[in-house]
């Protein structure tokens, strides 16, 4: 199993990032698509718009967000993309890109943990 890293989408791409996957439903504000090094935009594995709006990056909602997002990942139409990310991460390093300011409470953290558990 190759490492699964996390990085803000606004950070500079580096060779050791491996396959760079944006895991947000919305394109990051202020980033031009032609100026960002992204290999795949996996918006189907991002939290639903309803869940994303409810969470609103409020720390007191983190635990409930994590629980609801895991349920979405397990049951969603994004499951093929989850499996595709797992397959890629078995072969090479993957860096999950996200736009959130909070580096410890965002959907990429939850997704990484879900991808690791099924290896």
Q: What is the pLDDT of residues 27-56, one digit of tens each?
A: 999 999 888 899 999 999 999 999 999 999
Q: Is the pLDDT of residue 108 over 80?
A: yes
Mean of the per-residue pLDDT values of the chain: 92
CB 23 within 8 A of CB 45: yes
Q: With helix as H, strand as E and coil as C, how does the chain read?
A: CCCEEEEECCCCCCHHHCEEEECCCCCCCCCCHHHCCCCEECHHHCCCHHHHHHHCCCHHHHHHHHHHHHHHHHHCCCHHHHHHHHHHHHHCCEEEEECCCCCCCCHHHHHHHHHHHCC
pTM confidence score: 0.93
């Amino acid at each position: 199993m190759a490492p699964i890293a996390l990085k803000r989408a606004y950070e500079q791409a580096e060779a050791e990032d491996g396959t760079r996957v944006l895991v947000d439903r919305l394109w990051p504000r202020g980033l031009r698509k032609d100026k960002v090094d992204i290999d795949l935009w996996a918006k189907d594995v991002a939290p639903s718009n309803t869940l994303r709006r409810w969470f609103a990056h409020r720390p007191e909602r983190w635990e409930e967000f994590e629980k609801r997002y895991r349920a979405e990942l397990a049951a969603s139409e994004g499951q093929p993309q989850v499996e595709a990310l797992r397959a890629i991460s078995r072969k090479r390093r993957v860096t999950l890109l996200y736009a959130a300011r909070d580096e410890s409470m965002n959907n990429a953290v939850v997704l990484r943990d879900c991808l690791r558990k099924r290896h």
